[in-house]
Every structure is written in C-alpha cells, then in structure tokens.
C-alpha cells in the first residue's frame, strides 16, 4: 500500500509518501517539502494573512498532485500549531480544501506528543525501556514519557524555536530573559513528567534537535538513518554560548543548518539546553522517526 502523510507545520510543509506493508517498517518512496513559514504570516489579531493562505493552498495543491503522480492511494493531512492557534483556522482549512481537494485535520498538541512518542517506541522497541521523548518544533515543544506504546504523560508547551525567535529575540529581548522564561515554562510540567520515575532512554526527534546534534558533531544524514546520533549536554552548552554572538550567516554555515532555519537556532538551543538541564538528561539520542511516522503508524494499526 502506498500512502502519504502531509504535515503542515509552523515552518514547513512536508509530504512524505511511503510504501507500507504488514510485518515491516514503512519505506520512504517520495518526499516534497517547502518552507511555508506560516507562523510569520500572522496579522496583529493572530489570523493567517491572505498571502500565507495563498502560499499554503499553492503548496497543498502541488503536494496533492505529486501524491497522485507517485501512486498514493490516500494522503493523511494534518496541521499543527500555526494553523491550530490561528483565529481564522476554519477559513484556512476551507481555502486549502477548495484549492487542493485536501482536507486538513487540526492536530492538538497533546496528540503531537503522543504520536511522536509512538514513532519513537516503534523505532527503538521494547528494549528501550521507559522512554522520555522531546521534540522542538517551530511553534511548540512536545514532551512525552512512558514505558508502553502510549505515553503516561504527553504535553505540549508554546516553546517552539520559531515562536520564541519572533516573540523574544526579534523584539530585542535578552537571551537571559528568554532563558528564564523558557525554564519557568518547562518547570511547570517537569514534576509531572518526572514523578513516575527516571527515563531508561532519553530521545529527541525532528529538525531542531537533529540540527543541534549535527552542529555538535553528530553524523550527517548522508550516512543513513541507522547510524547512532547523540546530543550531549556539555557540547550543547558550548554551542549555546557560541550562538549568542554568531550572525545568521555564520550559523547557516555550520553543519546541519539550512539557511531558512539559521535564525531560529539560537532559540532552539536555549530550549534544548533547558530541557536537558531540567529533566536531568546528559545525552539525548536522536531518532529519525517523528510525528509523520507516528501518524502513519497509528493509521496502519487501525486498518
């Protein structure tokens, strides 16, 4: 069965087409992504602007065309924080549907955390024991913990790298102010997450954590998904200091960083370092599977 997952995030739209079959992992067949930067196309009332909607509708139309051309039987389409929090979310969904024929589903933050956790569990298996899973997106930070396929606790905090860049650093607020606010927010859920017990394995997913790990010396993506990649807290602490004074061009020249995401890496590093500190994690292992794979796995499980 060839099916697709269309993920509309705060930064990027990403279509993943996979071949899925019983008894094996989904195999990537095609990928199409585009930097939509929806969170930067919000007006003063928190509505997605006409230009932002047009960009999204155009991308969704091309994604639908590519899904058909590659033989996908179905596309599961969802949107996360940028559309979820928009004051005109219903209008955005209708415009995209009219233009592309694709009906976006709004994914709550807790479901983002839960489905990402499911993907990580399937990747590492039961031998990983009790998992702590962390994911920094453009708009939010997802945290989930548990010993089963469904996490005991799954939560989402408005601490995405893009959001904090816009709301703090771009407005001239200091790193120290940002650091204090991030740690305060994470502190509100740390006790709930840690109360059931320590993690046997701490895992990070998605682009921000992957980029930070690469900047700290992890293997490049060209070496394939099965190479062990880690992010150590000591290395991240040094990187965070470097990023405070680095220009966007200098950050973009670092390994693993795209030009469109370079300006967000400072805030992303602040969130990552606070997460590791407050949850007592010395090393995060990077998982190549994340939300899209979790959405796909749950769909296949229900067939």
Q: Hey, where are the domains in the chain?
A: 2-107, 109-291
- In this chain, the answer to whether the domains covering 2-107 and 109-291 adopt an identical fold is yes
CATH of 109-291, one of 3.20.20.80, 3.30.350.10, 3.30.420.150, 2.70.98.60: 3.30.420.150
pLDDT at 80 over 90: yes
Q: Mention every residue, 6+ apart, whose C-beta is less than 8 A from residue 40.
A: 162, 166
pLDDT at 22 over 80: no
For the chain, the 3-state helix, strand and coil shares in percent, each to the nearest 5, are: 50, 20, 30
Q: What is the structure's pLDDT at 188? A: 96
pLDDT (tens digit, 9 = 90+) per residue, 162-176? Answer: 999 999 999 998 899
d(CA 208, CA 109): 17
**Domain with residues 2-107, CATH architecture:** 2-Layer Sandwich (3.30)
Judged by average pLDDT, the poorest of 16-25, 53-62, 68-77, 148-157 is 16-25
pTM for the model stands at: 0.96
User: Are 120 and 287 contacting, i.e. CB atoms less than 8 angstroms apart?
Assistant: yes
């Amino acid at each position: 069965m060839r099916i697709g997952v269309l993920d509309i995030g705060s930064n990027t739209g990403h279509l993943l087409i996979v071949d899925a079959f019983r008894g094996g992992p989904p195999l990537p067949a095609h990928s199409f992504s585009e930097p939509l930067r929806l969170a930067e196309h919000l007006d003063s009332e928190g509505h997605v602007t006409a230009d932002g909607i047009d960009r999204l509708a155009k991308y969704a139309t091309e994604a639908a065309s590519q899904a058909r051309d590659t033989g996908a039987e179905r596309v599961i389409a969802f949107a996360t924080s940028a559309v979820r929090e928009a004051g005109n979310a219903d209008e955005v969904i209708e415009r995209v549907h009219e233009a592309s024929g694709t009906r976006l589903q709004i994914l709550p933050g807790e479901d983002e955390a839960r489905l990402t956790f499911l993907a990580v569990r399937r990747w590492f298996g039961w031998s990983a024991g009790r998992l702590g899973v962390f994911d920094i997106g453009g708009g939010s930070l997802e945290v989930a913990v548990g010993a089963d396929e469904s996490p005991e606790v799954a939560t989402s905090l408005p601490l995405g790298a893009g959001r904090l860049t816009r709301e703090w650093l771009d407005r001239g607020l200091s790193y120290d102010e940002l650091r204090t606010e991030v740690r305060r927010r994470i502190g509100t859920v740390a006790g709930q997450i840690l109360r059931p017990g320590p993690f046997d394995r701490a895992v990070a997913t998605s682009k921000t954590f992957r980029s930070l790990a690469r900047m700290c010396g992890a293997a490049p993506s060209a070496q394939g998904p099965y190479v062990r990649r880690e992010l150590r807290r000591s290395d991240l602490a040094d990187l965070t200091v470097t990023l405070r004074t680095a220009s966007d061009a200098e950050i973009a020249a670092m390994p693993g960083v795209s030009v469109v995401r370079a300006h967000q890496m400072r805030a992303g590093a602040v969130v990552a370092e606070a997460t590791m500190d407050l949850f007592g994690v010395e090393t995060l292992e990077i998982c190549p599977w994340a939300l899209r794979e979790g959405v796909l796995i749950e769909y296949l499980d229900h067939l």
